[in-house]
Amino acid sequence: MTKGSPLRLILTFTIPLFFGNVFQQLYSMVDTIVVGRFVGVDALAAVGSTSGFSFMVVGFAQGLTAGFSVIVSQRFGAKDMKMMRKAYAMGILCSLAWSVAIAFLFSLLSLPLLRLIDTPENIIYDANSYIIIIYAGIGTAIFYNLFSSILRAVGDGRSPVYFLLLSSVLNIVLDLFFVIVIPLGCAGVAIATIIAQGISAIASLIYIKKRFPIFRLQKEDWKLDIPLCIRLTKIGIPSAIQFSVCAIGVIIVQAAINGFGSDTVAAYSVGGKLESLVTQFFPALGMGISTFASQNLGAGQLNRIRKGFRISFLIMVVAAFITFLIAYNAAAPLSLIFMDKETTSPVIIDMAVQYVRTVAWFFIPLGMIFIYRTGSQGLGSGTIPLISSIAELVMRVIAAFILPYLFGYTGICFASPIAWCGAGFLIPFCYFYKMNKIEKNALRLEKA
C-alpha cells in the first residue's frame, strides 16, 4: 500500500473485500430466507426482530477486532515485525476476554431486552431462542473477524473472501439441516451460524500460520503486556462502541416498528436485509482506505494518505449511483427470495420494496460515513468514529420518536437516511482536522 498507484491499490484491495462482504451478507440472510420459506412469516419476523441486538454484539466484535488490527497494520508498514507479532498475540488474548464477557452478559439480558422493545408476544420466544445462541457463540464471530482483520492489515484482502465463501456454503447446508431434517426452527439457524463461523475462524487461523511466517508466535510474544493491551483497547473500544451506538439507534427504530405488529416487522426485516446486501461496497471501500491510510501513516507518507482519501471519495460517488440503480430496480424481485408469494400478503412485500427504494436515494451520505469514519480509524483515531456514531444515533432516535407517529411506516423508512445525513456530512470535517493535526506533529518532529 505504500508504493504504486493509490487508485489501483485501493480498488485491488476493495473489490475482493466487497465480494467477501456480499458473501457475509448472504451468510446472514440465509437465516432469514430459510425460516421465512420453511417455517413461516412469524419466524421470519422473529429472526428479523433481533437484528438490532445481533448488530450490537456482532458489530461490536467487528469494530473491536478492526481496532486491534490497526497497530498490526501500522507496525507492518513501519517494518517493525517484533511489535507487530506482539500486537497480534495481545489482540488474541483481548479477544478471548471480550468473548467470555459478552457471552455471559448478553445471555442473561436476552429476554428482558426483547421485552423492553415490546417484541410481539407471538414471536418473542422464537426471537429469544435465536438471539441467545448468537450471544453464547459470539466468540466465533470475534475470532473470525480478528483473523480477517489481521489478513487485511497486511494487505491480503482475498483470503478472507475464500473463508467467507466456505462459511456461507456451510451455513446454507447447516441451516437446511437444522430446519428441515432436524426441525429446530429459529434456534436451528442460529446453531448453524455459530458452527459455520467457528469453522471459518479455525481455517483462517491455520492459514495465517502457514501463509505468513511473520505471524508464527513465540513464547515471548504471549507474555502479557498490559500497556499494549490498554493501547489496543483504546483503539478497539471506540471503534466497537461506534457499532454499538449505531445498533442502539437500530433497536430504538425496531421498538417503534414492533408497535405496528409482526407483519410490519417482517417487511422491515426483509427491507433491511436487502439494504445491507446492496450497500456492501461502501464498508469494503472504507476498509480499503483504512488499510491504505494506516500503512502509509506508518511509512510517514502523509501526502499519499490525502490522495488516497480523494480517490476513495470519487470511487464512492460512482458506486453510489450504480448501487442506487440496482437497489431501486431489483427491490421487488429480491424481496420474493425471502417470502413465498403465494402465502405472503402483498402488503408485506410492498412495504419491503418501499423501504429499499426510499433509502436508495441516500447512498452518498452513507458512503461518506464509511470512507471518513473507517478511514480515520486507520489513522489511529478512535474519537472520530465515535463522534460520527453519536451523531448518527441522535438523528436516528429523533426520527424514530417523531416520524412513525406522523407518517406511519413511511416515517420509519426515513429513519436511516436521516441518520446517514446527520453523520455523513459532519465526519469529513473531523477527518480534515485529524489530518492537519498529524501533519503539524510531523512537521514539528522534523524541525526538532
Nine cell digits for residue 391: 451523531
DSSP code of 362? G
The CA-based angle 126-119-399, given to 5 degrees, is 135
For residue 59, give the amino acid letter.
G
Write out the three cell numbers for 73. Answer: 497494520
Q: What is the DSSP letter of 379?
A: T
Q: What is the pLDDT of residue 343?
A: 65
Q: How far is CA 216 from CA 97, 158, 187, 221, 395, in A?
A: 21, 20, 37, 10, 45
Distance CA 269, CA 49 (A): 7
Q: Coil, strand, or helix at residue 111?
A: helix
pLDDT digits (tens, 9 = 90+) for 384-393: 777 777 888 8
Helices then strands, counting H and E runs in the chain, come out as 19, 0
pLDDT of residue 448: 61
Q: Tally the residues of the chain.
A: 448
Q: Which pLDDT score, from 0 to 100, does residue 340 have? A: 67
For residue 382, the model assigns a pLDDT of: 66
Amino acid letter for position 48: G
Quote the crossing angle between the two packed helices 262-278 and 6-38, to the nearest 10°: 150
Answer yes or no: are the C-beta atoms of 77 and 298 closer than 8 Å: yes
Q: What is the pLDDT of residues 290-308, one digit of tens each?
A: 888 888 887 788 888 889 9
- Quickly count: other Cβ atoms within 10 Å of residue 211's Cβ: 12
Residue 343 CB partners (closer than 8 Å, separation 6+): 41
Look up residue 176 and give its three cell numbers. 437446511
Look at residue 337 in the predicted model and tell me its pLDDT.
81
**Side chain identity at residue 93, one-letter code:** L
The rounded Cα 261 to chain-centroid distance in angstroms is 27
Structure-block grid coordinates of residue 340:
413465498
Give yes or no for a contact between 68 and 91, defined as CB atoms under 8 angstroms apart. yes
Q: Which residues have CB under 8 Å from 200's CB, separation 6+?
A: 140, 144, 163, 164, 166, 167, 170
Place of cell 455523513: 424
For cell 418473542, name the residue: 124
* Residue 212: count of CB within 10 angstroms of its CB: 15
Residue type at position 306: R
Nearest of 388, 380, 366 to residue 321 by alpha carbon: 366
Enter the C-alpha cell of residue 180. 428441515
- Position 301 scores a pLDDT of 84
Residue 191 C-beta-side C-alpha neighbours within 13 Å: 15
Q: In this predicted structure, what is the pLDDT of residue 27?
A: 66
User: Tens digit of pLDDT per residue, the chain (448 long)?
Assistant: 678 888 999 998 888 878 877 876 776 677 778 887 788 788 888 888 887 888 788 778 877 887 777 788 777 777 778 888 888 888 888 889 889 998 999 889 889 989 988 888 888 998 899 999 999 999 998 898 888 888 877 777 778 878 888 888 888 899 889 988 888 888 898 999 899 989 999 999 999 888 888 888 888 888 888 888 888 887 777 777 766 777 777 788 888 888 888 888 888 888 988 998 899 999 899 988 988 888 888 778 888 888 999 999 999 999 999 999 999 999 988 888 877 666 667 888 889 999 999 999 999 999 999 998 888 877 877 677 777 778 888 888 888 888 888 888 899 899 889 989 988 888 888 888 888 888 888 778 777 6
Contact 17, 288 (CB under 8 A): yes
Asked whether the beta carbons of 371 and 289 are under 8 A apart, the reply is yes
For residue 281 the three cell numbers come to 461496497
Return d(Cα 230, Cα 237) in angstroms, integer.
Answer: 10
pTM over 0.85: no
Q: How far are the Cα atoms of 170, 338, 339, 440 from residue 173, in angstroms, in the given order? A: 5, 17, 19, 54
Q: 11 is written with which cell numbers? A: 480498488
Q: How far is CA 5 from the centre of its chain?
A: 28
Cell matching residue 433? 482536522
